[in-house]
């Protein structure tokens, strides 16, 4: 027999899943658009970001209503708080896809020396995103550690990219593109951090507290 | 932690109905311990054994140990009247005697032999103060207790219990018959009282248990399922049955 | 569709109300007729002389004082004996006794006693009290040669009203709310204290009901008192426990049995006195009960 609160919880979960789907495909598209300089695709990404922002707002509103009217406890309470946190992180991640799309629309490119880095970082980030969001709905604490560890790979790529930035600046004809490349790299690194946060939200959902993941 | 009550392997049966099964629980001093659970789970039966009002249940049969400050309350040599003096009780529906406010509060002390007018007066005033009722009734102590509102009557019953200077206050759903404002006043009062008394409260409202108790114990069909500090109990309960109950998933 | 049915219902309602009114009025009418005829017959005879006089061969000089005094003494004496025993029994059965079988046995016996016809009490009183008193008098070498004395009447009436008192007191005790008693016990009061301070106090007005019923019952008893010695002609005040006595119904009966027409009038007057005495005594008790019930805050 379903209870009142179960209906509300499922409704909010549905919104969250929608948000996840949007954000994942936004970044898939962004990676493609970056490689093929597809402005049309990039425009679509920006439109979708609006949807994502709306979903975030709706999730916040409905979660607030749930807290106020149902006085949830235990898993409902932890789940609601974790959902709000995850929505915030997803919204940020969506913004980053928008940033990348905007750079494509104004004609910026990623310079060749940086492309291997951005490619690898994007791959790792997307795997983190896919798995951490799946984990939120099916928490498995063992997998969490493994996903979180991947963030370090992204950080390592950032450091290495950093090392070559000076030389690239000196030799490039278009400093704007150097900056753009680095912007993209930084964006991807931040995105990785937010994907890591989603893991923390998943843990909070189960444990009710933050666990130091290093 | 000082334990006021140590309950060990308590089994309570009346006729063929097993009300409590192997219940073991410790009640900490100067804490509010809440007993929650669905109707018929045994929490009220447990409360009544703590002051041996269970003696009045027809066909009652009790096994196990309950110690009040180290003494077995079911031992032959135990004076049940003394137990009931040390352990006060407040009931679900306010039940003031059909007497004046003063006589209500003075009832207990008079039963125990206190006749001195000044002493009685002091006891009545102090008890009414502690129950946060004195200011509202100080001009009409000789008026009937039945003229008071429901919330005031309940506080009168609390004052009446406090007049015996108990160590423990047992409360059986004390606010379930009251409106929200009266309920809030009594909950505030409980938080004050726990500084000087140990309180055990049975409540149907989980929100109430969550609001005012330090320790919450969950009962189901006579068994103690889970007990723990309230904050953790409601945020991360261990037993799935507990989680199902407090999240309202009970069919 | 609905309005038609409800019109029917209203008509039925009204008809039933009218019928019930007529029926109730009919019992009042019958009562009024009875009392009316008695009053019209005997009221003229109810004079101060009648009330303070003694019976005589002459109907116009007969007075009712001995019977009145006798009735009052029998009522008072019976209550004095039966109340303590009856109250104690009721409280014991309700509040103190534990063994259910024991309680229920006694209770059944008492309930059955309450339904026993008064004549049986008369027979018992005659066979037991009268006979025993006679034996006692003989052994104590007293001058009284018979057991048919006032004391026998009082004793017989006291056991007659005993079941009434026990039953009504038990019912009164049952009306005391359980939560009041629980509150008292929870404060550490003993069973005796709780029973005295709470139960008895709360039940007292309803216990008076037993009193009221008993007064009415005793005042009206004729046959059993006849059997234990109430006489129809006494020229002294029956204030001696070991002496002859009479009561209002018996006196009235003896007047009715006389052939002279004038004695019928006297009997009617006696009935009026009986009714008024009944009214007065019960009235006092009923008012007392009402006052106490209001005063329960």
Q: What is the pLDDT tens value at each position of chain C, 297 positions in all?
A: 666 778 888 899 999 999 999 999 998 999 999 999 988 888 888 888 888 888 888 888 888 899 999 999 999 999 999 999 999 999 999 888 877 888 889 989 999 998 899 999 999 999 999 999 988 888 888 888 888 889 999 999 999 999 999 999 999 999 999 999 999 999 999 999 999 999 998 999 889 888 888 999 999 999 999 999 888 888 888 888 888 899 999 999 999 998 888 888 889 999 999 999 999 988 998 898 888 887 665
The DSSP call for residue C93 is I
**Cα(B10)–Cα(C157) distance, integer angstroms:** 55
Judge if C199 and C152 occupy the same domain: yes
Contacts of A1 in chain B (CB under 8 A): 251
Judge if C108 and C223 occupy the same domain: yes
Closest CA to C286 of C233, C210, C221, C225: C210
- Nearest CA-CA distance, residue B76 and chain C, Å: 17
Contact B178, B186 (CB under 8 A): yes
pLDDT-derived band of residue B189, with 50, 70 and 90 as boundaries?
Answer: very high
A1 pLDDT more than 60: no
Closest CA to C76 of C169, C157, C160: C157
Give every strand in the sheet of B71-72, ordered side by side.
B17-28, B3-14, B60-68, B71-72
More confident residue, B87 or A175: B87
Judge if C104 and C203 occupy the same domain: yes
Judge if C109 and C175 occupy the same domain: yes
State ipTM: 0.94
Contact C225, C129 (CB under 8 A): no
Domains and CATH numbers, chain B: 3-96+168-246 (3.40.50.300)
Contacts of B160 in chain C (CB under 8 A): 183, 187
Q: How far is residue B45 from each of residues A16, B54, B219, C142, C233, measured CA to CA in Å?
A: 46, 7, 11, 66, 68
Contact (CB<8Å) C297/B146 = yes
Question: What does pLDDT average to over chain A?
Answer: 91
Query: Phi and psi of C137, rounded to 5°?
Result: -60, -40
Give tens-digit pLDDT for A142-167: 888 889 889 989 999 898 888 888 88
**pLDDT on residue A213:** 65
Q: How far is residue C150 from each of residues B155, C129, C153, measured CA to CA in Å?
A: 58, 11, 5
Judge if C101 and C154 occupy the same domain: yes
Domains and CATH numbers, chain A: 4-207 (1.20.58.220)
Contact B213, B230 (CB under 8 A): yes
**Cα(C122)–Cα(C233) distance, integer angstroms:** 20
Angle between helices A115-137 and A175-207 (to 10 degrees): 20
**pLDDT on residue C157:** 95
Judge if C198 and C226 occupy the same domain: yes
Residue of B nearest to A6 (CA): B249
Classify burial at B179, counting beta carbons within 10 Å of its beta carbon; exposed 0-12, middle 13-18, buried 19 or more.
exposed
Query: Phi and psi of C271, rounded to 5°?
Result: -60, -40
What's the distance, Cα to Cα, between the start and end of chain A in Å? 42
The DSSP call for residue B63 is E
- Residue B246 sits at the chain A interface (C-beta within 8 Å): yes
**pLDDT on residue C23:** 93
Strands (DSSP E) found in B81-185: 87-90, 168-172
Q: How far is residue B108 from each of residues A190, B165, B185, C14, C89, measured CA to CA in Å?
A: 71, 10, 24, 56, 27
Judge if C19 and C132 occupy the same domain: no
Judge if C28 and C53 occupy the same domain: no
Q: How far is residue C127 from each of residues B106, C70, C121, C151, C229, measured CA to CA in Å?
A: 54, 22, 10, 14, 12
**Cα(C174)–Cα(C194) distance, integer angstroms:** 14
pLDDT-derived band of residue A31, with 50, 70 and 90 as boundaries?
Answer: very high
Judge if C15 and C159 occupy the same domain: no
Chains touching C, CB cut-off 8 Å, 3+ pairs: B
**Cα(C169)–Cα(C161) distance, integer angstroms:** 12
Q: From the centroid of its chain, how far is CA B129?
A: 19
Per cent of chain A over pLDDT 90 is 65
**Cα(C255)–Cα(C258) distance, integer angstroms:** 5
Judge if C32 and C113 occupy the same domain: no
**pLDDT on residue A33:** 93
Query: Phi and psi of B14, rounded to 5°?
Result: -125, 125
Q: Which residues of B45-68 are buried (b: 16+ CB within 10 A; e: fewer)?
A: bbbbbbbbbbeebeebebebebbb
**Cα(C208)–Cα(C163) distance, integer angstroms:** 14
Q: Which residues of A150-180 are buried (b: 16+ CB within 10 A; e: fewer)?
A: bbebbeebbeebeeebeebeeeeeeeebbeb
Region A118-129 average pLDDT: 93
- Nearest CA-CA distance, residue B109 and chain C, Å: 9
3-state secondary structure of B64: strand
pTM of structure:
0.82
Percentages (nearest 5) of helix, strand, coil residues in chain C? 80, 0, 20
In which domain, by residue range, is C28 found?
A: 2-43
Per cent of chain B over pLDDT 70 is 99
Closest CA to A87 of A11, A211, A197: A197
Q: B-contacting residues of C 164-193, CB under 8 Å?
A: 177, 179-180, 182-190, 193
How many CB atoms within 10 Å of residue A198? 24
Closest CA to A27 of A83, A86, A90: A90
Q: From the centroid of its chain, how far is CA C23?
A: 28
pLDDT-derived band of residue B230, with 50, 70 and 90 as boundaries?
Answer: very high
Contact (CB<8Å) A74/B206 = no
Percentages (nearest 5) of helix, strand, coil residues in chain A? 85, 0, 15
Total domains, chain C: 2
Chains C and A touch (3+ CB pairs under 8 A): no
Classify burial at B9, counting beta carbons within 10 Å of its beta carbon; exposed 0-12, middle 13-18, buried 19 or more.
exposed
**pLDDT on residue A131:** 94
**pLDDT on residue B15:** 86
- For an interface test with B, give the residue of A2, A9, A75, A208 to mutate (most B CBs within 10 A): A75
**Cα(C137)–Cα(C148) distance, integer angstroms:** 11
Judge if C206 and C246 occupy the same domain: yes
**pLDDT on residue C297:** 55
A188 pLDDT more than 90: yes
3-state secondary structure A55-90: HHHHHHHHHHHHHHHHCCCHHHHHHHHHHHHHHHHH
**Cα(A180)–Cα(C42) distance, integer angstroms:** 129
**Cα(B216)–Cα(C293) distance, integer angstroms:** 45
Judge if C34 and C77 occupy the same domain: no
Angle (CA) C78 C82 C87, round 5°? 150
B251 pLDDT more than 60: no
Closest CA to C95 of C161, C187, C189: C189
Non-local (6+) Cβ contacts of A107 within 8 A are none
C104-109 contacts: CB < 8 A, separation 24 or more? C107/C170
**pLDDT on residue B91:** 95
Closest CA to A58 of A78, A84, A36: A84
The helix or strand, by DSSP H or E, that contains position B71, with its residue range, turns out to be: strand B71-72
- Nearest CA-CA distance, residue B82 and chain A, Å: 41
**pLDDT on residue C6:** 81
Closest CA to B28 of B162, B161, B197, B186: B197
Residue C220 maps to which CATH number? 1.10.3720.10
- Residue A5 sits at the chain B interface (C-beta within 8 Å): yes
If interface means Cβ-Cβ distance under 8 Å, which residues of chain B face chain C?
51, 53, 56, 81-82, 84-85, 88-89, 91, 93, 95-99, 107-108, 111-112, 144-147, 157, 160-161, 164
Chains C and B touch (3+ CB pairs under 8 A): yes
Longest CA–CA span in chain A (Å) reads 69
Angle between helices B101-111 and B150-162 (to 10 degrees): 20
Contact B163, B96 (CB under 8 A): no
Give tens-digit pLDDT for B127-172: 999 999 999 999 999 999 999 999 999 999 999 999 999 999 999 9
């Amino acid at each position: 027999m379903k209870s009142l609160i179960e209906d509300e919880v499922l409704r909010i979960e549905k919104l969250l899943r929608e948000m996840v789907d949007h954000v994942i495909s936004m970044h898939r598209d962004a990676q493609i658009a970056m490689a093929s300089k597809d402005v049309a695709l990039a425009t679509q990404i920006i439109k979708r970001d609006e949807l994502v922002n709306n979903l975030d707002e709706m999730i916040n509103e409905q979660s607030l209503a749930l807290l106020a009217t149902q006085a949830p406890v235990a898993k409902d309470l932890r789940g609601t708080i974790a959902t709000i946190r995850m929505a915030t992180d997803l919204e940020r991640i969506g913004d980053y896809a928008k940033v990348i799309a905007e750079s494509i629309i104004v004609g910026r490119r990623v310079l060749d020396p940086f492309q291997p880095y951005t490619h690898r970082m994007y791959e790792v980030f997307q795997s983190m995103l896919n798995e951490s969001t799946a984990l939120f709905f099916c928490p498995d604490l063992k997998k969490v550690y493994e996903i979180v560890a991947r963030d370090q790979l992204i950080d390592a790529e950032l450091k290495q990219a950093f090392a070559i930035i000076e030389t690239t600046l000196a030799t490039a004809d278009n400093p704007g593109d150097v900056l753009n490349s680095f912007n993209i790299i930084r964006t991807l690194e931040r995105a990785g951090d937010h994907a890591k946060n989603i893991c923390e939200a998943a843990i909070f959902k189960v444990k009710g507290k933050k666990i130091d993941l290093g | 932690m000082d334990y006021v009550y140590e309950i060990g392997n308590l089994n309570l049966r009346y006729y063929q109905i097993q009300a409590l099964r192997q219940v073991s629980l410790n009640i900490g001093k100067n804490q509010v311990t809440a007993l929650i659970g669905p109707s018929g789970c045994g929490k009220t039966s447990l409360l009544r054994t703590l002051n041996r009002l269970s003696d009045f249940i027809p066909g009652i049969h009790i096994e196990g140990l309950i110690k009040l400050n180290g003494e077995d309350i079911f031992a032959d040599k135990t004076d049940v009247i003394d137990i009931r003096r040390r352990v006060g009780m407040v009931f679900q529906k306010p039940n003031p005697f059909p007497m004046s406010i003063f006589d209500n509060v003075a009832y207990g002390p008079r039963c125990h032999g206190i006749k001195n007018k000044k002493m009685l007066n002091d006891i009545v005033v102090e008890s009414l103060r502690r129950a946060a009722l004195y200011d509202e009734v100080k001009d009409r102590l000789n008026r009937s207790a039945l003229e008071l509102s429901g919330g005031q009557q309940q506080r009168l019953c609390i004052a009446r219990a406090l007049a015996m200077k108990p160590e423990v206050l047992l409360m059986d759903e004390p606010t379930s018959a009251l409106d929200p404002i009266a309920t809030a006043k009594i909950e505030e009062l409980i938080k004050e009282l726990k500084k000087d008394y140990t309180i055990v409260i049975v409540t149907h409202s989980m929100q109430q248990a969550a609001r005012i108790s330090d320790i919450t114990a969950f009962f189901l069909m006579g068994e103690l399922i889970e007990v723990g500090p309230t904050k953790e109990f409601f945020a991360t309960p261990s037993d799935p049955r507990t989680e199902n109950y407090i999240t309202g998933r009970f069919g | 569709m609905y309005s038609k049915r409800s019109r029917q219902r209203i008509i039925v309602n009204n008809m039933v109300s009218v019928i019930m009114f007529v029926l109730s009025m009919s019992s009042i009418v019958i009562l009024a007729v009875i009392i009316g005829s008695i009053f019209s017959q005997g009221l003229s005879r109810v004079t101060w002389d009648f009330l303070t006089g003694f019976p005589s061969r002459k109907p116009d000089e007969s007075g009712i004082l001995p019977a009145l005094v006798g009735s009052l003494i029998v009522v008072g004496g019976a209550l004095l004996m039966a109340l303590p025993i009856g109250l104690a029994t009721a409280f014991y059965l309700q509040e103190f006794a534990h063994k259910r079988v024991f309680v229920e046995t006694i209770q059944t016996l008492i309930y059955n006693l309450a339904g026993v016809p008064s004549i049986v009490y008369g027979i018992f009183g005659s066979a037991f009290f009268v006979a025993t008193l006679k034996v006692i008098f003989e052994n104590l070498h007293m001058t009284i040669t018979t057991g048919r004395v006032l004391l026998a009447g009082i004793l017989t009436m006291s056991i007659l009203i005993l079941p009434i008192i026990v039953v009504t007191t038990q019912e009164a005790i049952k009306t005391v709310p359980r939560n009041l008693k629980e509150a008292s016990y929870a404060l550490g009061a003993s069973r005796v204290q709780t029973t005295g301070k709470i139960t008895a106090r709360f039940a007292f007005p309803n216990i008076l009901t037993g009193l009221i019923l008993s007064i009415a019952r005793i005042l009206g008893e004729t046959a059993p008192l006849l059997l234990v010695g109430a006489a129809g002609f006494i020229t002294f005040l029956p204030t001696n426990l070991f002496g002859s006595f009479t009561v209002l119904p018996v006196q009235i009966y003896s007047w009715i049995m006389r052939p002279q027409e004038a004695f019928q009038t006297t009997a009617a007057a006696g009935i009026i006195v009986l009714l008024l005495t009944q009214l007065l005594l019960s009235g006092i008790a009923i008012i007392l009960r009402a006052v106490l019930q209001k005063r329960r805050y």
